[in-house]
Structure 1
Amino acid sequence: MTQSQTQRFSFSLEATDGKARSGRISTPRGEIRTPAFMPVGTAATVKAMMPESVAATGADILLGNTYHLMLRPTAERIAALGGLHKFMNWDKPILTDSGGFQVMSLAGLRKLSEEGVRFASHVDGSKHMLSPERSMEIQKLLGSDIVMAFDECPALPATEAEVAKSMQLSMRWAQRSRDAFGDRPGHALFGIQQGGVTQDLRAQSAEALRAIEFDGYAVGGLAVGEGQEAMFGVLDYAPDMLPVQKPRYLMGVGKPDDIVGAVKRGIDMMDCVLPSRSGRTAQGWTRRGQVNLRNARHQDDPRPLDADCTCPCCAKYSRAYLHHVFRAKEMIGGMLLTWHNLHYFQELMAGMRAAIASGTFDTWEAAFQIEFASGDIERL
């Protein structure tokens, strides 16, 4: 790759198998292999992990949260200290969300208008205004490689009329985000499709976003409690409405079987707090589903969580030890299990990339579903 190529953002589609796609996103800070899973570094850290440990799991990119970072330590402070990459010691790409979802779900008193959202911080009650222009400014100060357009996330359940009104506002904000983002070589701006679970609204949203033109496109407004069947129902058509030659990002997903189903339907990128949050609460994710290490059945078990896993947790520690440190509330429990979970999620993505490249995705998926539904190994 030439120097000039590495200074811009680009996406190359390398293989398809049905709707499943594998490819490569190129950025000045490195390449992102797709399908890609992005660990969430909410407050400039993936909880319980060192940055080099996150990289060791196979992660090519992290997600940072605009809302949390604008409140503490502030985007201006991070910029003065050299930007988010330097601040958190992560030299690979970073995607930042727009802050819209967190404003709706976490902030105190808030008032929505055409201009944006006025809200009270959940940290100290201080008053703030988040608009498309301010979101673009914050994400520029952070220095993220992939910037998300500012959108509104309607609280569910909502009527179709409410979802339509929200989607139309988000499309107006998408144009303002595009205008405020400007020309930033090497950085990308993604638009976010909205429209709930209504196909016509999704089509209207996609048409508006394509007219504005973005570097990538996200499917937003899912994984908010609608259930897997409804989510897959939308994913059966929503990704197809977006440009083929641009990356497609499903926000906030999810469990391993959610991820596999999303990739099957044409999604290239995902993020979720699940592997790290589960790791801190003694929930391990394995090829055979979820394992609760607090259960007494593990207290005398000398076997690893997953005998086929090469992560440090499985290579060096027993289920009995993990059970003990969680019961004793020792920090190492969350550290080890988070590492394992992130390793497993990245291994899952690598497996799908290989299957798509070899044209065997259906066979791979069938084997995954059987093993994932099989349950934990027999107790001793």
Structure 2
Amino acid sequence: MAKKAKGKGGKGGGKSKGPSEEELAKQANAVKNFQKAHAASSQAHGVEPLGIATGTGEAAFGCAVVGPHLVAADKGGVTALHVRALLEGFSLSAYGYLQTLALWNVPIGDDGAAYLALYLRRRSCTLRSIELNDCGVGELGCKAIGGALEDNATVRCLQLDLNAFGDAGARALGASLPSNKGLTSLSMQYCGLTEAAGAILAGGVLRLPSLASLELRGNDLGSGGVVEVLRALVPLHAGGQPHPAMAHLGVADTGCAIEGELHEALTACFDENPLCGSFDMRGAPLGDTTAYELITLFKKVHTHVHAFEVSATSGWGPLDPQLYKQIYAVTAANQKGKKGGKKGKKRGKKKK
């Protein structure tokens, strides 16, 4: 009997099929159960159910977005109780398809963060990405979320931008997050961190071994704070080993300057941590001489640096336009070479 020819879709020919009718029926039932549980919980707490987008109801939805538009201001807007009812709806129905929860510009505060923490401890929680941006989360909220993530293995991305929890919030997160098993991306942009937060981050969240991306834009860390963060990524200041996962560090608009001690800390990071190849340094003053030196290093020595974002103009005035272009050109070439290397490795494996 002749074998069936393989199609473009892979083994067995043809493109991969979508969910079966049985699976779609299961998903539709899960959505209905969630909607019922959400309505019941909302009634119990005396609030209207949030009208999040759930699709047609014929298939499961994986993202829940909560914004101020869901409840009119004259009706009190979105509150922590609305979020509590929503999360209880997911919990009580054991909804197993939710991967992203995004709360944007809703004043749920520490109470809302505490309700989220309760949900994160549920076995039915399947969240991989959490966005709590501009939600009034403070130190207590950070403590609750950090504690809940201590034993959580599903969440990969946590955004806490525009919450003014300051150094105390960063310390609260750092007390628990190092025990987490899967968080890879943490964003704390414009959160009111000061220079003292550098050491707090170094001794806290930067001890999380799976953390691959840290965004700190818009915090008043200054050069001293950024130096502490950079030093936490290299062997001399990290128990003899570079950070095992950190690949991107964003410290744009943090009041630092690429000179002196910070310049030395950056160079040490390039030398000692080959995994970390992406840096956002926009807003940090950079002199022409230092820019030329960095370009030479990226070309000949530190070819793993594939992204180094700087500003064309800073507090020191404009950077030489040619040097500015070269920084981006050289790092882009490194990125291209990095991708080419991966393709070469794959071809080599296939030949074997």
TM-score scaled by structure 2? 0.33
Which structure carries more strand by proportion? 1
TM-score scaled by structure 1? 0.31
